[in-house]
Structure 1
């Protein structure tokens, strides 16, 4: 698990990738990433090594860092694993979340219920939801395993979302349901809500075949 500036670099570079500020299929240098993050070579390099292990980038010595395109087949295989691990994670969170973590979850529920999102602010909120739920499991092995699965999932969703209004509202409701179940100390409800989210992500992924991978995105702010 990365700490300090390396963790900051990881979060910032992952966000650049998820939001496609670094385009899929492009090569970037460490120097560019240092400039974009405002961090030094060592934390950026440590972050890239972790991102490579998490399948977010490919490191090509003497050439640069490649951001591979998303893949439907890889997404579906990844969701098979996420389905089981996330259900375990939220069940653990029901038992182990601290009072402070539950307060943070209540704040996130209120935010998700407002529905007042842009695409970027929604993804930032979902990232925070993922972080608090996984951290609340208080199991570093679960945390290490879940981070790449959730990051890859967010990246695929952002790359292929078209009807932003409908998808964000649906996703917000599903994430809020998981948080509510954890706050209520209901492990069965939390795992059921987690599986409902996973079912949606599978459905969304399969729909990209019908809609086409790079159709025009409807991306007006949501209110």
Structure 2
């Protein structure tokens, strides 16, 4: 799959999200724009623009004249998030199955293979990259800008929660995500919706497990 060249802002966004996901930026800690710019060897403008996107997605909290804080995650917040994500994700998958272009379906099949391979190789960075692509391609294929606006914060926060606690779980959701992509690639709306619900069922059970730890 051909990757698009990222703008500086988009590159900063992707790198900062990855640093949050993999706890290179610690929950509850405060950082300045200058610190983050130095970490990524970038100017402050793309950092500032990337942080605005991340703040909208609730991945960071921005406090004027104080800095940027990485918010803590809770089981309660994640369960509430999944309540909202379930119907939107199912709608997104169903629309994608109906509206995906031939090229998008080809990308879906490639992503289905790639995400399973990443899980098999236990390559967390590659899995994170593929998971972002899975989410982005599904939203793009739905051809609905309102779904795009609704899904971005829900998916980003869900990714962060899973990566934070994944070491406590013996299951892996790669095959579930792959089933969504394969159903969309077939143009099978019913199966795509069911597969999307299966992903949320897994995430809900995964989240509840954290209460017992």
Q: Is the structural similarity TM-score above 0.5?
A: yes
1:177 corresponding residue in structure 2: 179
Q: Deviations over 1:109-155 (max 9, x none)?
A: 22234322322222222111111111111222211211111110010
Corresponding position: 1:43 with 2:46? yes
Instruction: Summarize deviations over 1:43-95 as a string: whole Å, max 9, x none.
Output: 21122122112211111122210001111111111111111111111111112
**Is it true that 1:71 corresponds to 2:74 in the alignment?**
yes
What is the CA–CA distance in structure 2 between the aligned matches of 1:38 and 1:96, rounded to whole Å? 40
2:21 to 18, 22, 28: 18
Q: CA separation of 1:103/1:46 partners in 2, compared to 1, >3 Å: closer, same or farther?
A: same
Partner residue in 1 for 2:144: 139
Quick check: 2:105–2:186 contact (8 Å CA) kept in 1? no
Distance 1:29 1:135 in 2: 33
| TM-align CA RMSD | 1.6
Q: Which residue does the alignment assign to 1:62?
A: 65
Q: Which runs of 4+ in 1 moved over 6 A?
A: none
Q: State the shift of 1:188 in Å.
A: 1.0
Structure 1's 45 and 209: CA in aligned 2 closer, same or farther, altered over 3 A? same
Distance 2:72 2:137 in 1: 28
SS of alignment partner, residue 122 of structure 2: coil
- 2:11 is the counterpart of 1:8: yes
* Structure 1 spans left out of the alignment, 5+ residues: 213-223
Which region of structure 1 is more displaced relative to structure 2, 182-191 or 130-139? 130-139
Q: 1:36 to 1:160 in 2, by over 3 A?
A: same
* Contact residue 32 and residue 68 of structure 2 kept, 8 A: yes
Partners of 1:43 and 1:112 in 2: how far apart?
A: 29
Distance 1:163 1:45, change over 3 A: same
Aligned position for 2:163: 158
Q: Which residue of 1 aligns with 2:85?
A: 82
Say which SS state the counterpart of residue 142 (structure 2) adopts.
coil
2:209 counterpart residue number: 207
State the match for 1:167 in structure 2: 171
Matched pairs, number: 206
After TM superposition, give the deviation of residue 163 of structure 1 in Å: 4.5
Distance 1:38 1:141, change over 3 A: farther
- Aligned counterparts of 2:10 and 2:85: Cα–Cα separation in 1: 22
Deviates further, 177-186 or 100-109: 100-109
Q: TM-score, normalised by structure 1?
A: 0.86
Aligned residue for 1:162, secondary structure, equals helix
Name the CA shift for 1:38/1:176 in 2 (closer, same or farther; >3 Å): same
Could you tell me which runs of 5 or more consecutive residues in structure 2 were left unpaired when the two chains were aligned.
1-5
Shift of the 113–107 alpha-carbon distance from structure 1 to 2, 3 Å rule, reads same
